[in-house]
């Protein structure tokens, strides 16, 4: 019996470490939205243990790679089963910003999610989004693998959080 209780506590602890939690405001403004713009912000992140600015200096095709990373995120969010369509163009009333905090050498990414209105006011914040990166390829390729996993998590999260 004691072994079972210890095992159950460990499982609960491990799964709650990376749980998404609304820490400010709400995402309920998305309840009636059909289209939401999405972006990923790396500017304050440490990527492979260096600040973003230093990382980008070594990436000749960062703009192209970033578009690919963002597209992986958006496609996965759209496949998450919700009714909201996620787009990369800022044409909607609201914008979701995944703000990366740490990107490890394998692309593993941790960050938070912001919901902004048209005036860039923060409406909601959800913390601790985490996804493992890839296994093979360049740093940006590994980041794209993580972005795909994050997109799926964000899409599922919004599907639930937009109802509240």
Tokens representing 61 are 């095709």
Query: Are 60 and 66 within 8 A, CB to CB?
Result: no
pLDDT given for residue 14 in this prediction: 37
- What 3-state DSSP class applies to 161? helix
pLDDT given for residue 19 in this prediction: 59
Residues in the chain, pLDDT under 70 = 1-19, 164
Convert the pLDDT of each residue in 77-110 to its tens digit.
999 878 899 999 888 899 999 999 999 999 999 9
Q: Is 58 exposed, middle or buried (0-12, 13-18, 19+ CB in 10 A)?
A: exposed
pLDDT given for residue 124 in this prediction: 93
pLDDT given for residue 129 in this prediction: 82
Q: pTM for the complete prediction?
A: 0.83
Domains of the chain (ranges; CATH) run 21-161 (3.40.50)
pLDDT given for residue 2 in this prediction: 54
Query: Are 57 and 113 within 8 A, CB to CB?
Result: no
């Amino acid at each position: 019996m004691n072994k079972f209780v210890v095992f159950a506590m460990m499982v609960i602890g491990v799964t709650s470490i990376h749980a998404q939690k609304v820490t400010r405001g709400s995402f309920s403004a998305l309840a009636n939205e059909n289209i939401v713009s999405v972006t990923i912000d790396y500017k304050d992140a440490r990527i492979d243990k260096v600040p973003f600015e230093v990382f980008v200096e070594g990436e000749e095709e960062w703009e192209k790679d970033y578009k690919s990373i963002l597209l992986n995120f958006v496609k996965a969010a759209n496949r998450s089963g919700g009714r909201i369509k996620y787009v990369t163009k800022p044409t909607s009333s609201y914008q979701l910003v995944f703000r990366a905090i740490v990107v490890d050498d394998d692309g593993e990414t941790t960050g938070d999610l912001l919901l902004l209105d048209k005036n860039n006011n923060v409406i909601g914040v959800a913390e601790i989004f985490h996804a493992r990166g890839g296994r093979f390829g360049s740093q940006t390729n590994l980041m794209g693998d993580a972005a795909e996993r994050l997109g799926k998590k964000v899409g599922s999260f919004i599907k639930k959080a937009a109802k509240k």
